[in-house]
Structure 1
Amino acid sequence: MAQSIKHVALVVRDYDEAIAFYCDVLGFDLLADEYQPEQYKRWVLVRLKGGTGTSLLLARANDTDQEVFVGDQSGGRVFLFLETDDFERDYETYRAGGVNFTRAPVTQPYRRVAVFSDLYGNLWDLIQFSAK
């Protein structure tokens, strides 16, 4: 049996501002933006440019119960891990685009990593693993 995680839902405040951040700032591809009239919502998928793996489902908070999780999907821990093949390139590109890095880059024997927050405050690792 072959399985994979296809989408990860990310609760957002607004579809369009989330699309702008993920696509225009982080360089993700917009895979789908389809209105779902029966549920009064949109099906919005983004994925790393050229990627073939898991995509993010940008899911607008529907009510006040969901709104409290915008920006705090994982209780203040790093939530998502963005692996790169060129840490310095992406770090400098993101900084130039206004991405807020909450922890400066560090180099460890197995990786180079820095923590950034998305437009809502969810924490991400930008990470390049060392060659084995």
Structure 2
Amino acid sequence: MTQGIQTVGLYVRDQDEALAFYVDKLGFKVHTDVRNGDYRWLTVQHPEQPSFQLGLYVPGAPVHDAATAQALNALVAKGAMPPMVLEVDDCFAAYDKMNQKGVEFTQEPVERYGTVDAGFRDPSGNGWKMIQTRRKVAAA
């Protein structure tokens, strides 16, 4: 039996705003964008990881009741969700490129633990760590 993670969901305030951020600023590609009434299934993929999707979901029906959706939206707005990790070949170059596109960084690139990392947020407040691959640091 073969198993694997196909999609990981990320709660966002506004799917159109999130879609523009992940596609225009991070370079992801749209995988699925379908609607069923008020519900929208929206996923994006990193161009170098075609078997993995990041779901951009708004808390609410049909998955959550109104009280749960409100609580989740409050957590997203506070940036309380666990951070995602984006691996890059060159953290300094990726930082410069993303910063020029208006990505909100919470931490500039720092060399530590044998690698380089930086922190940023999406428009909904979701935290990201951007980490440079170790082999690139070791070769430098």
Matched, 1:104 2:108: yes
After superposition, give the CA deviation of every residue in 1:89-129 in whole Å (9 maximum; x if it has no partner).
Answer: 21111100111111121112421100111111111011112
After superposing on structure 2, the runs of 4+ consecutive aligned residues of structure 1 that deviate more than 6 Å are none
| Counterpart code for 1:66 | A
State the aligned residue count.
130
Among 27, 32, 50, the residue aligned to 2:48: 50
- In 1, Cα distance between the equivalents of 2:87 and 2:49? 11
Structure 1: unaligned runs, 5 residues or longer:
none
In the alignment, which residue of structure 2 is the partner of 1:123?
127
The aligned runs of 1:23-42 (5 Å cut-off) are: 23-37=23-37, 40-42=38-40
Partner of 1:8: 8
How far the C-alpha of 1:43 sits from its partner, in A, is 1.2
2:91–2:118: 8 Å Cα contact kept in structure 1? no
Please, what TM-score do these two structures have when normalized by structure 1?
0.84
Partner of 2:57: 59
Deviation at 1:64, TM superposition (A): 4.8
More helix by share: 2
* Conserved 8 A contact 2:120-2:128: yes
Percent identity of equivalent pairs: 34
Q: Calculate the TM-score normalised by the size of structure 2.
A: 0.80
Answer 1 or 2: which has greater strand percent.
Answer: 1
Q: Which amino acid aligns with 2:97?
A: T
Aligned CA-pair RMSD:
2.3
Larger radius of gyration, structure 1 or 2?
Answer: 2
